[in-house]
A and B are shown apart, each in its own frame.
Chain A
Amino acid sequence: MTATTTTVEAAVRVERVSRVYGHGAAAVHAVQDVSFTIAPGELVALVGRSGSGKTTLLNCIGGLDRPDEGRVVVDGREVSSLDEAGLVELRRDVVSFVFQTFGLVPVLSAAENVGVPLRLRRMPTPDREARVQLLLDLVGLGGHELQRPAEMSGGQQQRVAIARALASSPRLLVADEPTGQLDTETGTAVMALLRAVVEAEGMTAIVSTHDPLMMSLADRVVRLADGRLVDA
């Protein structure tokens, strides 16, 4: 089950993770006994049909959910045993998310949205503004700094979300179907962007997707079916 054997410490280690929603007869086994590792700098595509447990697994990796069994280690930290402060630190400094619905704060402009993680790290204002500009340029949205989410297309919003995810230079990027609400062309561009920035920033990424293109861009594909790992 272990994906690779290497002397380098894995960026992500998922060990026998299970997650059950509900109780008794109504219990739903979202993830069952899943184990795999992701090497630093690796881009992994997590694929499977709807309801296969992709999002649950990503949430467990990102500290948004806790597995009922097993453990998740990210960047040497056992996520499943972190307290609230540890989780806050993990999300602020180690893990970044890109959501299917972009997850932008609607009242903030593109630049302000990108700047939020930097504010959370209390980066000095001039440095923050420079990095925000750099990231917006990186995702091809230079000149759209003042636009608010409602004034941008879906693709643009997802680019802003990617820029925001990159803002704090996370070690792990977790993207949950980032192209799910985008048309094919835009989705392809976003995928290419993700691939490019992961490489450029040297970070590790795990991306859930149905998109064959993304699968082709990934270093490795991990498949889930009914909550079980079928191919790593």
Chain B
Amino acid sequence: MVSNRALLLHRARSQQSLLLVVLAVTVVGATLLGTFALLLAASENRMLAVAMEQSAPGSREIDVTVSSGSAADVAGALPPADAFLDDLLGGLPSDRDAWLASSLYTIEGTADARAPYTYFAANAQYAQSSTLVSGAFPTSGVDAAGRVPVAVPQVAADAYGWTVGSVVRLQQTSTLDPVRAVVTGTYRLTGAPQTWSRDVLDGSEHDEAYPVLGAGFLTTRAWGPLVVGDPTVLTDGTVALGVAHLVARPTLADAPTGAIDDLRGRLDASQATLAAAIPTGVSALVASPLGSTIDAAAGDLQVTRVTLVVVALLLATLAVTVLMLAARMLSDRRLAEQELMASRGASRRQVVRLALLEATGLAVITAVASPFLAELTYRAIVRIPVLERGGLDVDPGRPLLLWAACGVSALVLVGVLVIPLLRRGERRSGRSERGGSAARSGADIALVLVAGIALWQLSSYQGAPSGAGAGLSSVDPVLVLAPALVLLAGAVLALRCMPVVAHLGERAASRSRAWVSPLAVWELARRPARASSAVLLVALTVGVAAFSTSFLQTWRSSQQDQADLAVGTDLRATPALGTPLEAGAQLAAVPGTGHAAPVTIRDSTVGVATGPGNSSGGVPATLLAVDTTRADELLRGRVAPGWGDLTAGMGPSAPATGVALPGSPRFLVLDLQTHSSAPETAATVVSWLVVQDRAGARTSLALPSLLLGRARTDVVLPLGAESDGLQLVGLVARAVPASGSALPTPAPVTLDLTHLRVTSAASADLDGADVEAVSFAGAAWESHASGAEVSARADRLRVSGDLPTVTSFETTTELTATTFPDPSSGAAQIAVLVTPDVLDTLGAGVGDPIQLDVAGASVPAVVRGTVPYLPGAPHGRGVLVDEDLLGRAVLVAGSPGALADEWWLAASDDAAPGLASDLERSAGMSTVVRATERAEATDGPLHVGVQAALWMLVTAALALSVSGLGMSAAVTVRNRRLEFARLQALGAPRGGLVRSVLSEHAVLGLVGVAAGMALGALLAQVVAPLITTSASGAAPVPGVVVQWDWSAQLALLGILVGLVTLVVALTTGTLLKRASGQLLRLGDEQ
């Protein structure tokens, strides 16, 4: 052993440069694998937690609702409910919140016909999301006089004249226990509607028709809440506790490994667990979107995991190749030495032992150093802002996976250094050499065949095969193994091209008068084994880098395409409540939303039209109605030839105009009257006035129902908002005969609307308010029902028709009139675009008439063409139609239903988030921003791992390529130093020799780069579409378009060539010594 050690140390000293290069390459390879292991571990352990933490707070809430007829029971159930939440969360920290509300109390001493209701409530949100109008919120539970200090809604204070200091007498509705409350302040609730989902009146503060307890058909007024200063008044019996919501929002950012999975499991059984924990007689319900949120995030993670495993295998292939290259070069260097030792009597065991000792030394250094270097590398990489935002910037620790990756790398090094020695044994005979060559050829053919099968298998996948599963075990083996197999097989094929290239080079060299490049070509042609390792390395690294670059661009592009199409426009705003008119006014009040377009997006039914108003069958489909004249501006999502071209000509030829309503009115006022010449017929006339705002959104304002022969004067219609540019565009009316009152002959019925006025008064009390008369004759009115007539003059709009007879199939008389013609009358037809599956299902074709059922109306249309998907509703069957024409047709069909489900806005990526924030804050709208969704799709915590992996793979490919070729150059110089010395003795300058080594590597690089680029392109075309999926793992919509950006590829190649040239030149220039007699003599001794 002593002699072995001495020999090892002596050799290490004399060959320190070679050993350092091999060690450096080994450590680089192991470090990269270790870094990737950390990324995988972080993905598994951290990304789910980070994604959960970054999810909307509401999606993590757990709500336990406890209620009972007995206040004492509810109060008694709170501690076990709280304990249940503790058990459910399993020690995870959480924000807790309690919404307490009393049972209903009647307000005594009011002038109301029935005693109005109110209730006490306690929650910090009442003070946080409200505007204090007067006084203050209470701070104590009960005052010295035994009264409960409360803050009351301003609307209640207005109704009953309460001011600060007023004492309100209340009585519990079931026990009749009296309570006195003293007003400390008045408030007005603000905040989005969802803020008040746990409030008894949903934050509305007032309900004019609240059902009377025990008499559901009767209603009374309800007000509330009376906000108390101390929640204990609701639990200590001062007032009767009616319902309690205990809300927990777990903090999952630092959840230990497996804690979220455990929580998910407990959520499934949570209702049963709660029921067992709560005393009988108390209703307790647990509700939470957390399970769904975890499932969705886990699905996303699984999709990411598939890509990470694919990348990991590619990286492992690269790293092992480099390790084998290092080992092979070291083995070659040792071969002559080992043969010398054997010739001087060393046994094979001694030779192997020496090699094992040396390999073990290198492996130990690698195994010990690389985990720490990997940790440092990981920390450096995750400082990239996008990874930091994705939550990867955490202490990765040193998980078992890291040690395993680095340890296996070290073991591979030992294996490739020692195993060939074990097999080498005696000097090979020519026969065994031939046998080995045949075996290698056979192995190559087998590899190519297997890779071919894998490629064919991949190509046969119809959709994204990754699916969503529980863990790594569910990853498709073909999908993750095929890329590495194809890469290896392609690189092996590239090696087979080397002799051809070298032969061509030799022929050129023989004709050349130079010596630099011929020397390089001779070396490549006549020592092919040395060349093959380098070509293999270059082909693999370039292939991986090219694939990674393309896949990264493809993946990002696809995620962004999917986000674009899923959102459908730049900014979608959904009003919380109210009419389209109110929503339009809210939008108009927010700067920058001037071009918001009303959009209908809802489920509908589509059938083949078989006659007026009739269709055969019908299939459910998503209906998207949007202003097609602004399609290019509004619609997003990749489609050819563009939404504007696809929808060109689908819009109206002219905008719908009606009776202009001057100024910015808040109310319409008019008189109503119905007539019939058949007084024996009983019928009710129901009607709506249709007002259109500047954006074209139409709102139907319900008029009071009138029995035939009745009249109403000064009917006030609140518009709900103050808007200018309003127009009256329609009257939807129908006369509904009472059952059994139909006559054998038609009886005319007339509806008169007279004295239309508008006012901007603040309240419906019009006394003294400024009103302005509006002429009905400001537009041309048309009736649309058979036999119905419309006439308009300045002060009257009259619609008339015949009531249905007893023999008629009709049950009502349509009296609808509009200021525009029927968009489907005569030659005019409403054109629609449908998804191909609509036509397939209906058995229809382009040009066929169809029928759309929307808003209670049946709208005829014609299929103009097909679109692959709809913006905003990319999955399933869909129909795209112009919003204005659809709205006209719905009105013409006699439906007052509102169509504006959402408002779509065109906005720049920079402006949209701010605009959305304004809309949410000031208008209480919920919004979806395309730019945000795009960013989330690529840079969100569950997706950023893909980018990190690909960046790491590109970096690793560069690092391994540079270090591998640097090592190749170092070993070349070291092994050929005597040859170089002799050439220098013949007069060859050192610079020429360095250029020769560079030329040698340039040829190797050329073959490797060509093969690598071809392989990268092949993998990108075949594999990238398969592992580019939607967040749920399904095939993406729109389909994947493989991105192959030559500028990016060439830039990457330029960096690679530059670095390799630099490293090879530096290595060769440094190691290639001046020729000396000493060197020549040393060489002779070898």
What residues on B are CB-neighbors of A117 within 8 Å?
A: 986-987
* B513–A64 CB distance below 8 A: no
The answer, yes or no, to whether A228 is at the interface (CB within 8 Å) is no
A55 interface neighbour in B515, B527, B982, B1081, Cβ under 8 Å? B1081
Name the distance in Å between A208's Cβ and chain B's nearest Cβ: 12
* A120–B1074 CB distance below 8 A: no
The answer, yes or no, to whether A36 is at the interface (CB within 8 Å) is no
Contact with A along B983-995 (1 / 0, CB 8 A): 1111111100000
* B985–A64 CB distance below 8 A: yes
The answer, yes or no, to whether B423 is at the interface (CB within 8 Å) is no
What residues on B are CB-neighbors of A92 within 8 Å?
A: 986-988
What residues on B are CB-neighbors of A128 within 8 Å?
A: 513
The answer, yes or no, to whether B529 is at the interface (CB within 8 Å) is no
* A116–B983 CB distance below 8 A: yes
* B1080–A93 CB distance below 8 A: no
A64 interface neighbour in B515, B526, B979, B1075, Cβ under 8 Å? B1075
B1080 interface neighbour in A84, A99, A121, A123, Cβ under 8 Å? A99
Name the distance in Å between A14's Cβ and chain B's nearest Cβ: 15
* B522–A108 CB distance below 8 A: yes
A165 and chain B: residue at smallest CB distance? B986
The answer, yes or no, to whether B1078 is at the interface (CB within 8 Å) is yes
Known: A59-B1076, A125-B513, A128-B513. A93 touches B987 (CB 8 A): yes
Query: In whole angstroms, what is the CA distance A71 to B299 when docked?
Result: 82
* B985–A107 CB distance below 8 A: no
What residues on A are CB-neighbors of B984 within 8 Å?
A: 88, 91
* A99–B1084 CB distance below 8 A: yes
Query: In whole angstroms, what is the CA distance A107 to B986 when docked?
Result: 16
Contact with B along A60-100 (1 / 0, CB 8 A): 00101100000000000000000011001101110011011
What residues on A are CB-neighbors of B633 within 8 Å?
A: none
* B986–A164 CB distance below 8 A: yes
The answer, yes or no, to whether B511 is at the interface (CB within 8 Å) is yes
What residues on B are CB-neighbors of A122 within 8 Å?
A: 513-514
A-side interface residues, number (CB < 8 Å): 38
* A120–B1076 CB distance below 8 A: no
Chain B interface: which size bin?
Answer: 20 to 34
Name the distance in Å between A42's Cβ and chain B's nearest Cβ: 22
Tell me the chain A residues, 133-181 only, with Cβ under 8 Å from chain B: 164, 168
* A64–B1077 CB distance below 8 A: yes
Query: In whole angstroms, what is the CA distance A224 to B623 when docked?
Result: 107
A92 and chain B: residue at smallest CB distance? B987
What residues on A are CB-neighbors of B1084 within 8 Å?
A: 99-101
The answer, yes or no, to whether B795 is at the interface (CB within 8 Å) is no
Tell me the chain B residues, 733-771 only, with Cβ under 8 Å from chain A: none
B526 and chain A: residue at smallest CB distance? A107
* A84–B990 CB distance below 8 A: yes
The answer, yes or no, to whether B512 is at the interface (CB within 8 Å) is yes
Query: In whole angstroms, what is the CA distance A89 to B986 when docked?
Result: 10
What residues on B are CB-neighbors of A116 within 8 Å?
A: 515, 983, 986, 988
* Most chain A C-beta atoms within 10 Å of own C-beta, residue among B986, B1075, B1080: B986
* A64–B1076 CB distance below 8 A: yes
The answer, yes or no, to whether A32 is at the interface (CB within 8 Å) is no
What residues on A are CB-neighbors of B511 within 8 Å?
A: 125
Query: In whole angstroms, what is the CA distance A207 to B634 when docked?
Result: 93
The answer, yes or no, to whether B518 is at the interface (CB within 8 Å) is yes
* B522–A91 CB distance below 8 A: no
What residues on A are CB-neighbors of B1077 within 8 Å?
A: 55-56, 58-59, 64-65
Query: In whole angstroms, what is the CA distance A96 to B527 when docked?
Result: 28
What residues on B are CB-neighbors of A59 within 8 Å?
A: 1076-1077, 1080
A107 interface neighbour in B522, B982, B989, Cβ under 8 Å? B522
* A119–B513 CB distance below 8 A: yes
The answer, yes or no, to whether B523 is at the interface (CB within 8 Å) is yes
Query: In whole angstroms, what is the CA distance A105 to B522 when docked?
Result: 11
Name the distance in Å between A162's Cβ and chain B's nearest Cβ: 13
A100 and chain B: residue at smallest CB distance? B1084
What residues on A are CB-neighbors of B979 within 8 Å?
A: 105-106
A168 interface neighbour in B514, B526, B987, B1083, Cβ under 8 Å? B987
What residues on A are CB-neighbors of B1075 within 8 Å?
A: 64
B1084 and chain A: residue at smallest CB distance? A101
What residues on A are CB-neighbors of B518 within 8 Å?
A: 119
What residues on A are CB-neighbors of B522 within 8 Å?
A: 107-108, 112
* A107–B527 CB distance below 8 A: yes
* B987–A91 CB distance below 8 A: yes
Known: A88-B987, A107-B527. A119 touches B514 (CB 8 A): yes
* B513–A120 CB distance below 8 A: no
Name the distance in Å between B747's Cβ and chain A's nearest Cβ: 114
* Most chain B C-beta atoms within 10 Å of own C-beta, residue among A65, A91, A124: A91
Query: In whole angstroms, what is the CA distance A104 to B1081 when docked?
Result: 14
Tell me the chain B residues, 498-529 only, with Cβ under 8 Å from chain A: 511-515, 518, 522-523, 526-527
Known: A64-B985, A112-B522. A120 touches B1080 (CB 8 A): no
Name the distance in Å between A54's Cβ and chain B's nearest Cβ: 11
The answer, yes or no, to whether A103 is at the interface (CB within 8 Å) is yes
* A84–B985 CB distance below 8 A: no
What residues on B are CB-neighbors of A105 within 8 Å?
A: 979, 982-983
Name the distance in Å between A103's Cβ and chain B's nearest Cβ: 4
B1086 and chain A: residue at smallest CB distance? A101
Query: In whole angstroms, what is the CA distance A88 to B988 when docked?
Result: 7
B511 and chain A: residue at smallest CB distance? A125
* B987–A107 CB distance below 8 A: no
Name the distance in Å between B496's Cβ and chain A's nearest Cβ: 21
Name the distance in Å between A19's Cβ and chain B's nearest Cβ: 10
* B986–A97 CB distance below 8 A: yes
What residues on B are CB-neighbors of A123 within 8 Å?
A: 513
Name the distance in Å between A182's Cβ and chain B's nearest Cβ: 15
* B1074–A84 CB distance below 8 A: yes
Name the distance in Å between A61's Cβ and chain B's nearest Cβ: 10
* A103–B513 CB distance below 8 A: no
Name the distance in Å between B148's Cβ and chain A's nearest Cβ: 102
Query: In whole angstroms, what is the CA distance A56 to B1078 when docked?
Result: 9
Query: In whole angstroms, what is the CA distance A223 to B662 when docked?
Result: 127
Known: A59-B1076, A101-B1084. A120 touches B988 (CB 8 A): yes
* A120–B985 CB distance below 8 A: no
Query: In whole angstroms, what is the CA distance A55 to B985 when docked?
Result: 14
Query: In whole angstroms, what is the CA distance A14 to B884 when docked?
Result: 108
Query: In whole angstroms, what is the CA distance A96 to B985 when docked?
Result: 8
Known: A84-B990, A84-B1074, A88-B989. A119 touches B515 (CB 8 A): yes
Name the distance in Å between B47's Cβ and chain A's nearest Cβ: 54
Contact with A along B334-377 (1 / 0, CB 8 A): 00000000000000000000000000000000000000000000
Name the distance in Å between A91's Cβ and chain B's nearest Cβ: 4
Name the distance in Å between A111's Cβ and chain B's nearest Cβ: 10
- Top 4 nearest A-B pairs (CB, nearest first) are A92-B987, A59-B1077, A119-B515, A107-B526
Known pairs A55-B1081, A59-B1076, A64-B985 / 9 extra A-B pairs, C-beta < 8 Å: A56-B1077, A65-B1076, A88-B988, A91-B984, A93-B987, A103-B982, A103-B985, A124-B513, A125-B512
8 A–B contacts from the bound complex (CB under 8 Å): A64-B1080, A88-B984, A92-B986, A99-B985, A103-B982, A107-B526, A108-B522, A120-B987
Interface residues of A (CB under 8 A from B): 55-56, 58-59, 62, 64-65, 84-85, 88-89, 91-93, 96-97, 99-101, 103-108, 112, 116-117, 119-125, 128, 164, 168
